[in-house]
Structures are given as C-alpha cells and as structure tokens.
Amino acid sequence: MTSAVVVATETVASGSTPTAGLALRSGSVVGHLLEQLESLGLGDRRVIARPETAAGLREHGCEVVESKGLADDLREIARVARAAQEPLLILHGDVVAHREVIARLVLNSKAPASAAVARVRPDGDVPSRSVMRVHKGRIASAGSPYHQVTDPNAVFQGVLRVAQEETATLADVAEKLAELADTPDGLTGISPVRVLWDVPEDTGDADIEAAEGEHQGVLGSTPVTGDDAPALLLVGMVRSGVKVTGRGSPEFLCERVLDKAQADAAQQGLDAVDEDRVRLNAAVKNNDGFFTTYAVSTYSRFIARWCGKRGWTPNGVTAISMAISVVAAAWFATGHRWGMVIGAVFLYFAFVFDCVDGQLARYTRQFSTLGAWLDATFDRAKEYTVFAGLAVGSTAAVATSSVHGGDVWYLAVAALTLQTCRHMVDFAFGASKRRRAPEPIPVLPLAMPDDSVLDEPEPYKSRPKGGGLSHLAVWLSARSENIRAFHWFKKIIVLPIGERFALIAITAALFNAQVTFIALLTWGGIAAIYTAAGRFLRSLTQPRSAAK
C-alpha cells in the first residue's frame, strides 16, 4: 500500500481559481487524479490547499487540509511522513497523467525514491518546470525556484515517490525546508539553470526521452508561479544523499496544467493514447535477442494478454512451458525423424511460453521472488531435459537411420557442463555488479542556492578516458550499438536462450543429436570466449577500489 499527499496550492494566473479545479471531461483535474490513485489502491489520500480555495476543492469530493503557506505545506507533509508505515507519494494537484505513469511509480519502483521526469536540452529556452540533471538514471542534481542546477537535462513532472525506509529522511527534509521558508531570506530566488557545456550529458535512461506531439507546445509552456513544495522536497532528498531514480514515460502524458487551454490539451493527450496497448508493448523486453525479438515477441504479447484476461499467473505459465519441454524431450527420445520434427515444434512453443510468463508478469505486475527463481530454474531444467531426450533418441534410432548418432551421452554431459559453467559465471558477474555501491552524491546544505560545489559534469566525449586496447575496445563496442548489424551480431554471438532453443530445434529436426551437441559446444565455446574477453577488457577500464 502507498499513501498520497496531493499539493493543490497553485492558482490560475488570471484569478484565484485553483489549477487543481480545472475541468476535464471526467470532472476536475484533482478529481480525476484522486480516482486514479484510488484505482491503484491508495486509500489514504490527503489534499493540501489554501484556505481561500479549499471550499472549491471540497466540492470535487476532496478531503482538504488547509495550509496558509509553503512552510505549513512542508510541515503537514513532514507530519504525514513521520507517521508513515508505507511508501508515500507526493504530487501536485494539477498533474494530468495517464494512469500507467503513476502505476509505474507506485507499483514498479523499488528505488529508495523515484520521480516522474522528462528529458530536455538546455540549449533552448529555460524550461518552465523545475529542472534536474540525470546521470545513469539517477538524479544527480535537482532544482527549484531557489536551487540552481548545472547543465540540466530533464524536468520534474510533479510526482515524487518515497519508499517507506526513506520516509524519515523525507520528514527531516520537510522540517528543515519549513524552517528555511519561515526564515527571512532563508530561501531566495535564483536563476535555475547554469550551462557549462554546449552538449548535455546523456541521462543513461532511454525512457526519459521527452515525447514529441502536437500538444507538447501547449503543455508546460506556462511558468509555475505558486509554491512548489514537491520540487523542494525532491531537492532535499537528492541533497541528503538519497538515491532518487528518474522515471520517464515518453509514450504517456504526465504534465501539470495551469490554465484552461492546457487542461483541454491534456484531455486530448489522454484520449490519444491506448494505455493497454502501450502497456502490452512495454511488457516485451527491449533488449531481447534476435530470435526472440523477431520469431516470438511479435505475437507472444497477445498470448500474455489473453492469459492475463483469464486470470492466469506467470508461475502457471512457467509450469506449462516446462511441461511442453518434457513433451518435446519425449518426442526426441523416440528415435524417429517425425519424432525429431514434432519435438522441435514442441521445443519452440516451450520457448514461446517461456517468453509469455515474463511478459504476463510485466503486463499484470505479478512480480515475486518465487516466480523469478522458478523461471531461472525451469529454464535450465528444460534444456537439460531436452538434452536427455536427444541422447536417448540417438541410441534408440535404427543404425541406418539419419537420426542415429550413436552414443552421445558424453556430448550431452559436455554441453550440460558448459552451459552450467556459463550460467554460474553470468550469475556471479551479475551479483558482483549489484554489490557495487553507486557513486555517492555529496550532501549539500538545503539553504545553498547552487550546486557548483558538486563535481562539475564533464562535457560529452567521443572517447572514454584513458588509453590502450581495453578503452578502445569498450569505445568501439559502445559505438557499434548504433549500427544495427553489429548490434544484432553482438546479441547473437553470445548464444542467448532463444538462439540456443532455435539451434537445438533446427539441428535436431534436420540432422541428429550428435550434430546438435557439437553445434552447441562449438557455438557455446565461442560465446564463452567472447563474453569473457569482453568482461576482462571492460574491467580494465574500471577504477580500482581498495581491497577488502
């Protein structure tokens, strides 16, 4: 569960009407927002508003907490955060967003804190929203009307989520900011942007790229004039050293609306997107292998949606995939050509359902530790079961048959051993990367207006620092990602699971088990050497750490 604090303190520039009360087709902006929060299971929802606008917001069915100014806003948020026993969502009452944007923050985010952001370039007009600099998906510096950002590359879209373990930090930050707001000259206005380089650094997160659309020029074109407590809290969390992740959803709308024209444009933006279709497409991994991308994921997502509509669970689909692979192994064990062909077809569909279980989990957000363990374990079990079936069929086949490959158990054991060693190394390498602590962000005083004491962001460089073969190899590898042929070559050569299943199915259907195992050992050995060499060269480019 998650609680929500909705800050509805901004008013339309032409009068005293709260921007949260602007009309959408389904009602008011804040009413639409509260309905979305309720549909996501956020039962505890508070709205903070000024006394002069509170009555108007209550007409929209809101439970309103009256606040006289920024300091009171922050103290109310501090009180809620101090008592929180669950994650806390803080957002502006005039945010209009597709439900999926909020859902991803509330249900998918595991970071200590995360914020909805969009990518911008600092070489144009100064953005009308609070700016930030995002590096490798993490917010390195956040801004507000009182805090400067050097070389910003993203803007804050008005939604901040804080995990339960960081709500105490949030409360401390809110209280300190409230004291500054009450102190004369405690918070002073400042130019929010400081540009050092002509080209902005990469965010490290392709999902943060801003969407281009006919409504983009209308939305976000009006500067915020009122108090901006959520942006200040984002600044405070970042400057307290908390890892705040920037979450971008370029395919969806998420923007504050500050006048009627923007509200109308936002409604058109909501209507223009089929959320279910986009969510289904997002359920497919964007970094899958060549075979998976073009031979499976083109239609497996629709099987995942069909399963989701009928209440199937990802673990159930994983079990189905395992069962199909057992049937495939049984057909391989017959020792007949027609058995090898049918087994190859069953093996292909075992892999299809192996993809479906993950897509179903992402589409329905049914994530679990058990599911991840089952998926990884059954992936290995499926391969090894098929190995056994092929070995049995090879000896069972008639000696004069093209299916007969003789006693290939030694080849089966060798393939199993190679694949097991590769997976052990992969899991160990992944675990070592997860154990590596992220670079700390310096803790800065909240009253300091600019971030110039931070390490200045480096300009874009076409080559990495350092020299030698390792740096050249890493640079070439990164540049080759932009060339489609090289991108897919690097995906294919490492022999991912899709290519392995395809290799087994094709060689078994056309030849025999001996050919299958020799192909697996040859390609698998090349993949192991390629992977090990790449990791070794990449490790040479990493800074050395003290021995432990």
pLDDT of residue 217: 57
Interatomic CA distance for residues 441 and 44, integer angstroms = 32
Per the CB < 8 A criterion, the answer to whether 116 and 30 are in contact is: no
- Indicate the burial class of 284 (C-beta count within 10 angstroms; 0-12, 13-18, 19 or more): buried
pLDDT digits 0-9 by tens, 218-246: 777 788 888 999 999 999 999 999 999 99
Query: pLDDT digit string (tens) for 133-158?
Result: 998 889 999 999 999 998 898 999 99
State how far the Cα of 168 lies from the Cα of 107, in Å rounded to an integer: 21
Rounded (5°) CA angle 99-103-108: 155
Name residue 544's amino acid.
R
- pLDDT recorded at residue 213: 47
**Domains of the chain with CATH codes:** 3-281 (3.90.550.10), 283-540 (1.20.120.1760)
Question: What is the pLDDT, as a whole number, of residue 547?
Answer: 41
pLDDT computed for residue 422 by the predictor: 92
Could you report the per-residue pLDDT of 172-228, keeping only the tens digit for each? 999 999 999 999 889 988 888 887 765 455 555 545 554 444 455 577 778 888 899
- Six-digit token pair at 213? 């659309």
Residue 38 three-state SS: helix
pLDDT at 212: 44
Q: Are 206 and 117 in contact (CB under 8 A)?
A: no
Q: Which amino acid is at 77?
A: I
The burial of 433, by beta-carbon neighbours within 10 Å (0-12 exposed, 13-18 middle, 19 or more buried), is given as: exposed
pLDDT of 86 reads: 94
For residue 1, count other CB atoms closer than 10 A to its CB. 12
Contact between 541 and 473 (Cβ < 8 Å): no
pLDDT tens, 306-327?
Answer: 999 999 999 999 999 999 999 9
Q: Which amino acid is at 508?
A: A
User: Can you give the three-state secondary structure of 490-513, one letter per residue?
Assistant: HHHHCCCHHHHHHHHHHHHHHCCH
Residue 43: burial class (beta carbons within 10 Å; 0-12, 13-18, 19+): exposed
DSSP string, 385-437: HHHHHHHHHHHHS-TTSTT-----HHHHHHHHHHHHHHHHHHHHHHHHHHHSP
In terms of Cβ atoms closer than 10 Å to its own Cβ (0-12, 13-18, 19+), residue 309 is: exposed
Predicted confidence at residue 433, as pLDDT, reads: 67
Does residue 467 contact residue 264 with C-beta atoms inside 8 Å?
no
Q: Which residues pair with 47 in a beta bridge?
A: 6, 64
Q: Is the CB of residue 322 less than 8 Å from the CB of residue 381?
A: yes
Ranges of residues in the chain with a pLDDT under 50 are: 199, 206, 210-214, 459-463, 545-548
Q: Which residues are paired to 92 by β-bridges? A: 7
